[in-house]
């Protein structure tokens, strides 16, 4: 099966010796909201004593390399799926030697976990920076069109199910509620809707109508 086409924002380009970053999307590709590309993922903080602090030059370089590795992982998983993708695929997509990848992640499972956490952080930050109506539409578009999720939904539904189960539902509900100023019950309803979009994204028009419905369900002040 041919890999699903990737939007330009997931196409890596190599810079200097720091791995890869992702090209910024054109205005035609961003739709109605500003997409935060994977190359700008927030740093996942290393455990104490695991490396230089991010504010040092060495720490900044490690953070940049890590972002590039996760960007490469997104490309590799979207192209090959989780089962077939190897650490070599991830390294090649990131434009680095495999040894560099192993300096940051011991196994492919570690890469998957880090990418999942980084994407959750990215989407939470996206939602928190927008009014509720725009935030819900933005989340719907991101979830419904995410290259890795779309690949898994088509070719590896079992892997997608495990990935969704690996995410802590209670923690996700809390993150979503904080970002959108929702109570836990309403946040749980919105989260269930977003998970449904992963499995059946529908059309852009359908997602927009559903997002408008979620706004009415949420009710109350948007901020």
**Which long-range contacts link 174-182 to residues 24+ away (Cβ below 8 Å)?**
175/120, 175/124, 176/124, 176/127, 178/124, 178/128, 179/124, 179/125, 179/127, 179/128, 179/135, 180/127, 180/128, 180/132, 180/135, 180/136, 180/218, 181/132, 181/220, 181/221, 181/222, 181/223, 182/218
pLDDT at 140 exceeding the cut of 60: yes
> What is the mean pLDDT of the segment spanning 12-26?
36
**From 157-166, 192-201, 207-216, the region with the lowest mean pLDDT:** 157-166
On whether the pTM is more than 0.85, the answer is: no
Sign of CA dihedral 53, 103, 43, 164: negative
Q: What residues does 14 pair with on adjacent strands?
A: 20
Q: What is the pLDDT of residue 62?
A: 85
Q: What residues does 22 pair with on adjacent strands?
A: 12
For the chain, what's the residue count?
A: 223
> What is the mean pLDDT of the segment spanning 22-27?
34
């Amino acid at each position: 099966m041919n890999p699903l086409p990737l939007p330009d924002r997931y196409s890596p380009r190599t810079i200097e010796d720091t791995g890869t970053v992702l090209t910024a999307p054109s205005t035609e590709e961003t739709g109605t909201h500003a997409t935060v590309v994977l190359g700008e993922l927030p740093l996942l903080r290393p455990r104490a004593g695991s490396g230089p602090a991010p504010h040092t030059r060495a720490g900044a370089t490690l953070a940049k390399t890590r972002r590039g590795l996760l960007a490469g992982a997104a490309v590799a998983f979207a192209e090959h799926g989780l089962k077939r993708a190897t650490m070599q695929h991830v390294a090649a997509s990131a434009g680095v030697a495999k040894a560099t990848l192993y300096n940051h992640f011991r196994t492919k499972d570690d890469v998957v976990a880090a990418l999942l956490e980084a994407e959750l952080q990215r989407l939470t930050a996206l939602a928190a920076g927008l009014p509720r109506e725009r935030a819900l539409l933005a989340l719907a578009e991101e979830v419904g069109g995410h290259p890795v999720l779309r690949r898994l939904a088509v070719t590896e539904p079992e892997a997608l199910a495990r990935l969704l189960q690996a995410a802590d539902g209670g923690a996700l509900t809390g993150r979503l509620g904080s970002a959108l100023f929702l109570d836990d019950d309403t946040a749980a309803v919105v989260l269930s809707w977003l998970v449904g979009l992963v499995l059946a994204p529908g059309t852009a028009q359908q997602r927009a109508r559903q997002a408008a419905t979620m706004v009415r369900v949420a009710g109350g002040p948007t901020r």
